[in-house]
Every structure is written in structure tokens, then in C-alpha cells.
Amino acid sequence: MPYIADDKRYEKMKYNRTGNSGLLLPAISLGLWHNFGGVDSFENGRAMLRKAFDLGITHFDLANNYGPPPGSAEEMFGKIMKTDFKPYRDEMVISSKAGYHMWDGPYGDWGSKKYMISSLDQSLKRMGLDYVDIYYSHRPDPNTPMEETMGALDQIVRQGKALYVGISSYSAEQTAQAVKILDDLGTPLLIHQPKYSMFDRWMEDGLQDVLQQNGVGSIAFCPLAQGLLTNKYLTGIPAESRAARSGSFLQEDQVTELVVEKVQKLNAIAGRRGQSLAQMALAWVLRGGHVTTALIGASRVSQIEENVAILDNLEFSDEELKEIDSILS
């Protein structure tokens, strides 16, 4: 049967303004980093994308190398755009990135103009799109002048291949430099995508101030710390978890007794709030309005439904925040 979006999809989702721009992003965005590649179930991915949009998630975050194999997440998304989402394109914010290894030779990695522009052309072809809404420099390139990387982003906007530009994993100092270069070029920086969670608070050490001072939005990736901030690790490492899999970004030695003890204490607070640990962790990332949107991943539809349910309880008392800080310190 043809896909018809839920006509009540905008009733419960919260939308936040992205920095000083006119763009509103949903409080929860869906990333296709894992579980949407060529090795994954197409129908499961399709069901998750449909459910996300039905729940008011309008922002879908991709990158050239998402898969595996690299590029296959964009190919999968392109198929769904063609079969299901084409009538809703103007209701969606679709992003992609370039900055990590994508093809062999000297032009398939990092942040040169050659790589950034070629990569976006490939991404647009894979997704069957004329443009993306946001295009990111996925990581800073220590060997390419920032003026070149930011100049590529500016050129891409002027060519009509992207509406906005962003950066990911840039330090506070690098972000301030990128802001100035892009402002001088006339293409303001829309958004920064940092890794941010209860267990990884580096963006609070200067980056948040730079973003706020310059009217730049933020989208936090890994807000659940690769699954640590869920009920999976309350008693240790389950066999089916990421930490138990070879090659995972979350390694077994990261799940220490101290980490498990902190997770258990945080879970107790979440229980008092009537939330799962994952729900509280997402709400915490969004606290105070400093983060525009939390970028979730998912392996099944029920996880998306659980995550969106945080909209019913986003507020924290001062006592809760103090207790959480004491656990994390």
C-alpha cells in the first residue's frame, strides 16, 4: 500500500529555532548512522523512517560514509524518498556530511574543496535529490586551510546544492574561526553537531558559549552514549549489546564497575520521574534550551516511539539536576 503520512504528525512534536536562523528543527532528529545500511533489513529501516515522520520527526541526518558499506544508507534513504516520501520533501530537513574516508586516492577524505563538492554530488545522486537542506564538514581537517573548507560550503550554497551549512566535532576555537570565515563570505553557519551526553560533556567547556554568542544552533549526536545510558547495561554487558561486539565504537573496557554504578543511580532518578533512563538522558541533553535537537539512532520502531515520548516530561527540578551532577562528577 502507498505510504500516507499520519495527519496528526505535528500535534505533539516540539520544534526549536536553530540559532538565529528561520529554520525550526524537531526536538528529536533521526540519524541513519547505524541500521540503515546495505547489510541491514530494508523493511525494518523503512518502518523506522515512516514511524519517525508520523511522529513529527522532520529531520533526517545522513553522511556520505554511513552504511555499511559506505554510501548505502544514502542509497536506502533515496529509495524511500522515491517510494514513500516524495510528496513530503518540502516538509523534511535532510542533511549529509563529508569529512571521513569515502574513496581511494588523495581526493576521498578530509576537507579539501575537491572532496567536499565531489562528495556532495555523489550524495545527491544516491538520494535522488536536487539539494540537501544542511551540508556539514564532518570533521576539521588539520592539513587544509579552514578558508578552503568553509569556502567549499559557501560555494555549495551558492550553487543551490544546500540551503544551510554546518560543522561537526570542531572545537570552540575552530568553531569561532569557522563562524567568522562564513560570515565574511555571506553564508552564516547554521548548526554544529557535537558529541554530547551525560557521560561526554566536552561541549560545555567553551563550545556552547561560542554557539550562543554567534547565534548558531546545535544537534547533539550520541546523546545516549552509544547505549550506555539505556537499560542495557544496568547489570553489566549483555551478550547482544554493542559493547560485546567486535569492532563496535563502544568497547567492553568502557563499561567499568564505576560506570555501571553511575548508570544504576541515574536509572533510579529516571524511575522517580516516570521515565526510562534513555528518556531522561535525552531530556537532559535538551535541558535549558542550549541544544536545538537531540540526534537519536534506532534499531526498531519501538525505540523511536519511546524516545519521542520524552516530550511529555522535558523539565528538571534544581534538585534533580544537582543530584545528576553529583553522580556524574
DSSP secondary structure of 289-322: G-SSEEEE--SSHHHHHHHHGGGG-----HHHHH
Phi, psi of 12 (to 5 degrees): -110, -25
Could you tell me if residue 163 is inside a domain? yes
* β-strand pairing of 93-98 with 132-137: parallel
Could you tell me if residue 307 is inside a domain? yes
| pTM, rounded to two decimals | 0.94
- Residue 38: strand, helix, or coil: coil
Helices 318-328, 257-273: axis angle to 10 degrees equals 170
Q: Which of 116, 192, 191 is nearest to 159 (CA)?
A: 116
Could you tell me if residue 245 is inside a domain? yes
Could you tell me if residue 8 is inside a domain? no
Measured in whole angstroms, how far is the alpha carbon of residue 105 from the centre of its chain?
Answer: 28
Which ranges of the chain have pLDDT less than 50?
244-248
Could you tell me if residue 186 is inside a domain? yes
Could you tell me if residue 10 is inside a domain? no
Contact 31, 37 (CB under 8 A): no
Angle (CA) 43-3-305 rounded to 5° is 65
Phi, psi of 135 (to 5 degrees): -125, 130
Residue 148 CB neighbour total at 10 angstroms: 15
What is the number of domains present in the chain? 1
- Residue 52: strand, helix, or coil: helix
Q: Which of 275, 280, 226 is nearest to 254 (CA)?
A: 226
> Looking at residue 247, what is its pLDDT?
47
Specify the CATH number for the domain of residue 113: 3.20.20.100
Could you tell me if residue 34 is inside a domain? yes
> Looking at residue 244, what is its pLDDT?
45
Q: What burial class does residue 76 get, using C-beta atoms within 10 Å of its C-beta: 0-12 exposed, 13-18 middle, 19+ buried?
A: buried
260: containing domain: 15-328
